[in-house]
Amino acid sequence: MIKPCIILASSSPRRSDILKEYKIDFIPAEHKIINEPEYSGGIEPFEFAENLALDKAKSIENSYPDCFIIGSDTIVIFDDLSTGAAHHSSASFSLLSSADASLAESNTLPQRAKANHGLSLGKPKDAVSAFNMLSKLSGNTHNVYTGAALINKNMRLYESVYDKTEVKIKKLSDEEIYGYIYESKPFDKAGGYGIQDSQGIVESYSGSYKNAEGLCIETLIPLLKRYNLII
């Protein structure tokens, strides 16, 4: 029996490593979403992550119409007041002060999402924005949402799942933040950090570690099993 072809629509080494860790055979292929949109509210954070994961997978479906394509997206939400469904319990956070709100309007800080979903922290564009993100997260708790999609064009299969992990960052001094940015160069990571980084700035987390790393593998596996892609 010929094994189904699985394509990972991502250039993320972390997502590739997670699939390899779970012994899932796949072919890496970069998605074609050049300018990834940033979450700005209007829908639940998990919906945004799922929708973008689907869009990434769909962007290469014409090149692999017979294959199963996995897409994924991760977003970090600070001061999350969302009441939507979640896989893990979330803490309640107080609103940012008016001074913080005015700072968030600058080009180097992320923007507050609409509908009280909190502050969306994307990938930092430079060291300044990375420093501002980590200063915001320092000593505080935030939520990491990762969406994953599984599609097959010829089967007309378009499904998605998500997971949520609550993460607390250690209280960091300015020097520690500068050092982390210099050593880790977290410019390809939502929120400006990686839970797996050796510098270890994460104090604690609740939920899936792999989800915070970049792939909601625990919720993706049942979907892969449903279509006999893994045993």
What pLDDT tens digit does each residue of the chain (231 aa) get?
577 899 999 999 999 999 999 999 999 999 999 989 989 888 999 999 999 999 999 999 999 999 999 999 999 999 754 433 333 322 222 223 333 333 333 444 455 554 446 889 999 999 999 999 999 999 999 999 999 999 999 999 999 999 999 999 999 999 999 999 999 999 999 999 999 998 889 999 999 999 999 999 999 999 999 999 998
pLDDT at 211: 98
Residue type at position 130: A
CB 57 within 8 A of CB 31: yes
Active site positions, annotated: 73
| Interatomic CA distance for residues 137 and 80, integer angstroms | 12
* Structure-token pair, residue 60: 């290469």
Residue type at position 34: I
pLDDT at 118: 80
CB 71 within 8 A of CB 57: yes
Dihedral of the alpha carbons of 7, 212, 122, 110, in degrees to the nearest 10: 160
pLDDT at 1: 58
pLDDT at 110: 53
Per-residue burial over 61-80, b if 16 or more Cβ lie within 10 Å, else e, is: beebeebbbbbbbbbbbbbb
pLDDT at 96: 30
* Structure-token pair, residue 189: 């990571």
Name the β-bridge partners of 74: 146
- 10 Å CB burial of residue 196 (0-12, 13-18, 19+) is middle
pLDDT at 113: 52
* Structure-token pair, residue 148: 């994953």
Q: Report all structural domains of the chain as residue ranges with CATH numbers, in order of start.
A: 6-226 (3.90.950.10)
* Structure-token pair, residue 128: 């300044």
| Interatomic CA distance for residues 190 and 177, integer angstroms | 16
CB 160 within 8 A of CB 109: no
